[in-house]
Amino acid sequence: MSSTKNNLLSYEEVDKIAILTLNRPNQQNALSSELMTALLNKLHEIKNNKDIKVVALFANGKNFCAGHDLKELKVDKSEKRFKQIFELCSSLMLEILKLPKPVIAGVQGIATAAGCQLVATCDLAIASESSKFATPGVNIGLFCSTPMVAVSRNIHRKQTMEMLLMGDFISPSKAKDIGLINNVVKDNDLKDETIKIAKMIATKSTTTVAIGKEAFYKQLEMGIEDAYKYTSKVMSSNMLNKDAQEGISAFIENRDPIWSDK
């Protein structure tokens, strides 16, 4: 086990799981440029760390993430600076999608605007009973245009538009019903339940999971015929991997597989 902590982000490795924790509780873990850069840098490190199989994302304090740091946006009112901040956020979200390891969010309190975008971008999301979600930019004259990219790829368009146009909070039960999160747990169980899922995924073949995650997001953007052509090629290639042969043999022989991650 190893761990590091700075003023913005803490990092810990436990049982092949990278635990990242946003650490701006007094600012409701708002995504400042510095925090987004710290997250990006750490994800780059995790990508090349063969000992890590899953990433769990948490936040210190009462709330998960209140979106962009509005105080930061008020300091420099230039279009160039605004573009830099929103492009940095987009780069962070894309890095999570492209990371060959699953990312699971453990969400407490509010997850709004870019914070809701972060939840939607993660591969899985577990939320506490006290959590609530919103894309409230319309209420302050700043439509949640970048958050809607992730949210609209998780839930139905009418549910997305309702969130975007109303700007109201939705409960964790509704968030689960519409597909924004996977499950709702008691507040005190959030970390344990999230890590439990991470540990379960960590028992799978790293290579197989990486192949599947990449293929999942690529096929979503294709027409159905192209998606089947693409995934047929992916499965054919996957079949040649050592872990696929081991997994099939283990199933036939009624034993646990021994993964080589190849």
The CATH number of the domain where 228 resides is what?
1.10.12.10
Q: pLDDT tens digits for 166-198?
A: 999 999 999 999 999 999 999 999 999 999 999
Residue 257 lies in a domain: no
- pLDDT, residue 81, reads 87
- pLDDT, residue 1, reads 52
Average pLDDT over all residues of the chain = 95
CA dihedral 82, 83, 84, 88 (to 10 degrees): 110
Given the DSSP bridges, would you call strands 124-128 and 183-185 parallel, antiparallel or unpaired? Answer: parallel
- For 231, counting Cβ atoms within 10 Å of its Cβ (0-12 exposed, 13-18 middle, 19+ buried), the class is middle
In the chain, where do the E strands start and end? Answer: 2-5, 9-14, 17-22, 54-59, 103-107, 110-112, 124-128, 132-134, 183-185
Same domain? For 117 and 222 the reply is no
Q: What is the pTM of this model?
A: 0.94
Task: Tally the domains of the chain.
Answer: 2
Residue 192 lies in a domain: yes
At 181, which CATH number? Answer: 3.90.226.10
Helices (H), 112-170: 114-121, 145-151, 157-166
Q: Which domain, by its residues, includes 35? A: 2-202
Mean pLDDT of 106-133: 98
Band of pLDDT at residue 112, cut at 50, 70 and 90: very high
Mean pLDDT of 227-249: 95
- pLDDT, residue 201, reads 97
Same domain? For 229 and 155 the reply is no
- pLDDT, residue 4, reads 60
Phi, psi for residue 212 in degrees, rounded to 5: -65, -40
